[in-house]
């Protein structure tokens, strides 16, 4: 069992030849008693749901509220136009993240990683990485197990709840988990993966949770797209050998402190931020009435 990222990196490096996924399987057995075969079976189901949510979310349909829908399809058409400014892999991840969260907003089945509101980041990064790196099924499962290991530390030492720690705790955590798994999938070390976590969380410190009309749609859908994009940049920075001046566990501690200090208006109450703008208030009345 590991209780910090430093513990995670040390145990993976010294006991599992750098394989964080194997460390997570052992930890799962320690925590739940689940044998390896059951862990892989459950994770395979999660993987299948993630892949399906990416595919099913890519359409023109709108959510019941009318706030979201069709943007993944718009980005898909833009990518196919060949006129994009950003890298194809990063844009594919952004598109897939939007697709998953639009699917969620339309009451489709998603895998909460770590929450439904941040469910787009990890599937988006995984599917884009699979296309870029040619990951096989076992490598995709390792990707998810690795993300889970880093997410476990974040959840235990900070938060993955928007109501507790703002969106930094949801999309921030999801993006950090994705960046760590991506770094290792690309051939990086557990230590480099920990640096990718640093870069994401440092960039998202203080990100508030301000859902318009209290629905997990605006600005959540597009934040997932940005979170997926951050994961790729953070992974590349880590793989380049860039290091954080602030140790990773201190960064996670700072995330907890910042989240605890946020006013309640910025913690999923729809009382502040974008939810409190004139347009945000108007949309709430149009959807729910006075």
- pLDDT per position as a tens digit, 14-24: 999 999 999 99
CATH of the domain at 240: 1.10.4100
Contact 279, 222 (CB under 8 A): no
The HSE-up count of residue 33 (CA atoms within 13 Å, CB side) is: 0
pLDDT at 110 over 90: yes
pLDDT at 89 over 90: yes
Give pLDDT, residue 61: 97
Model-level pTM? 0.97
Domain count within the chain? 1
- pLDDT per position as a tens digit, 192-231: 999 999 999 999 999 999 999 999 999 999 999 999 999 9
pLDDT at 258 over 80: yes
Residue 189: helix, strand or coil by DSSP?
coil
- What percentage of the chain reaches a pLDDT higher than 90? 99
- What percentage of the chain reaches a pLDDT higher than 70? 100
- pLDDT per position as a tens digit, 164-181: 999 999 999 999 999 999
- pLDDT per position as a tens digit, 43-58: 999 999 999 999 999 9
Average pLDDT rounded to a whole number, residues 21-47: 97
Alpha helices in the chain (DSSP H): 5-15, 20-32, 36-56, 71-81, 88-105, 121-133, 137-157, 162-165, 167-185, 190-204, 220-239, 248-261, 278-288
pLDDT at 290 over 90: no
Give pLDDT, residue 111: 98
Whole-angstrom distance, CA of residue 274 vs CA of residue 219: 8
Give pLDDT, residue 112: 96
Question: Tokens standing for 213?
Answer: 């009309």
For residue 237, what are the domain limits?
3-286
The burial class, CB within 10 Å (0-12 / 13-18 / 19+), for 130 is: middle
């Amino acid at each position: 069992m590991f209780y910090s990222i430093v513990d995670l990196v040390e145990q993976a490096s010294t006991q599992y030849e750098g394989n964080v996924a194997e460390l997570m399987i052992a930890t799962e057995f320690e925590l739940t008693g689940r044998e390896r075969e059951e862990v892989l079976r459950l994770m395979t189901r999660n993987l299948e749901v993630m892949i399906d949510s990416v595919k099913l979310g890519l359409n023109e349909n709108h959510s019941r509220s009318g706030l979201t829908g069709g943007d993944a399809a718009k980005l898909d058409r833009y990518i196919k136009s060949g006129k994009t400014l950003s890298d194809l892999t990063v844009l594919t991840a952004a598109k897939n993240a939007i697709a998953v969260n639009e699917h969620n907003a339309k009451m489709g089945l998603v895998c909460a990683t770590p929450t439904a509101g941040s469910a787009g980041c990890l599937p988006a990064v995984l599917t884009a990485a699979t296309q870029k790196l040619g990951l096989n099924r076992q490598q995709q499962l390792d990707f998810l197990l690795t993300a889970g290991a880093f997410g476990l530390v974040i959840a235990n030492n900070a938060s993955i709840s928007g109501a507790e720690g703002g969106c930094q705790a949801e999309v921030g955590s999801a993006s950090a988990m994705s960046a760590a798994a991506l770094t290792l999938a690309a051939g990086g070390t557990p230590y480099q993966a920990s640096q990718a976590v640093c870069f994401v969380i440092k960039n998202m410190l203080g990100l508030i949770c301000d859902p318009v009309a209290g629905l997990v749609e605006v600005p959540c859908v597009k934040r997932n797209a940005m979170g997926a994009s951050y994961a790729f940049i953070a992974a590349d920075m880590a793989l380049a050998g860039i290091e954080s001046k602030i140790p990773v566990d201190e960064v996670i501690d700072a995330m907890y402190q910042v989240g605890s200090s946020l006013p309640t208006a910025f913690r999923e109450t729809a009382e502040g931020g974008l939810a409190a703008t004139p347009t945000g208030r108007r949309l709430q009345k149009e959807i729910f009435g006075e």
